[in-house]
């Protein structure tokens, strides 16, 4: 637990890969550096919004942060069409202008290789809008690693909803008790836990530019190499 506002003590994951058939991975903050998203929504969009409305960047930022929060945990929160209409800006075009900031976290590819070596089913499960997903898959080329990629808009609700996990189980025909989920959002992990997803991992370093923050409730990692047995350790067949 937190003591005097300090960092919670890290809960280290203990996994038995023999007990896992399926690996579900979030995208933003989990596989990809969330610095792109933080910069885009908290700095880049407010700069353009301030020019459009002739207000200061700080005024624009405060207004936009309030509008973001109003639809958090819903599909509108990540819907590029919704925000383009609401803000009067071409959000996909703005994302393309700074797509050089999109990057894969260290050790992600090695982890994906490890999972495939063990013949685990790999699924990318994201709240990101399909437009954002296309931009990021084109930039990072991580798509082919996965058996399937599912956006929350395909399911009809955000991952923070219990209904998402019910529908996902039906869609993928997975055994939830033998499934691992890694995500950088505790609300998502809590919904998955309530539904019965067997193994939950919190990604404590979603952005390369922000301080690591461990979960008080879930096993945490900074990098995916923490889930790969060290050289010389027996890997389950």
Name the residues annotated as catalytic.
Answer: 19
CA atoms within 13 A on the CB side of 117: 12
Nearest partner of 159 among 131, 195, 132, judged by Cα: 195
Separation of alpha carbons 111 and 29, rounded Å: 15
CA atoms within 13 A on the CB side of 30: 26
Residue 141 Cα distances to 10, 109, 150, angstroms: 32, 11, 16
Beta-sheet strand order (sheet of 179-183): 148-151, 121-126, 22-25, 179-183, 199-203, 220-221
E strands in the chain: 22-25, 121-126, 148-151, 179-183, 199-203, 220-221
Separation of alpha carbons 164 and 157, rounded Å: 6
The answer to whether the CB of 202 falls within 8 A of the CB of 183 is yes
Separation of alpha carbons 172 and 107, rounded Å: 26
Distance of CA 14 to the CA centre of its chain: 21
Separation of alpha carbons 212 and 72, rounded Å: 22
């Amino acid at each position: 637990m937190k003591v005097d506002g300090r960092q919670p003590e890290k809960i280290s994951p203990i996994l038995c890969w023999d007990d896992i058939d399926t690996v579900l991975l979030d995208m933003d903050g989990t596989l990809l550096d969330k610095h792109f998203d933080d910069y885009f929504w908290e700095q880049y969009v407010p700069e353009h919004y301030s020019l459009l409305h002739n207000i200061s960047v700080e005024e624009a930022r405060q207004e936009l942060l309030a509008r973001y929060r109003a639809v958090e945990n819903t599909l509108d929160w990540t819907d590029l069409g919704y925000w383009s209409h609401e803000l009067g800006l071409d959000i996909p075009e703005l994302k393309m202008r700074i797509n050089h900031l999109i990057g894969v976290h260290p050790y992600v590819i090695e982890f994906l290789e490890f999972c495939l070596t063990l013949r685990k089913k790999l699924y990318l499960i994201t709240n990101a809008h399909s437009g954002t997903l296309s931009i990021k898959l084109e930039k990072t080329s991580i798509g082919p690693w996965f058996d399937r990629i599912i956006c929350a808009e395909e399911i009809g609700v955000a991952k923070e909803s219990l209904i998402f996990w019910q529908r996902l189980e039906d869609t993928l025909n997975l055994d939830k008790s033998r499934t691992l989920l890694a995500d950088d959002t505790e609300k998502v992990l809590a919904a998955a836990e309530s539904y019965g997803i067997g193994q939950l991992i919190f990604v404590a370093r979603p952005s390369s530019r922000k301080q690591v923050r461990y979960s008080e409730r879930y096993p945490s990692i900074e990098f995916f190499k923490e889930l790969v047995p060290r050289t010389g350790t027996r890997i389950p067949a």
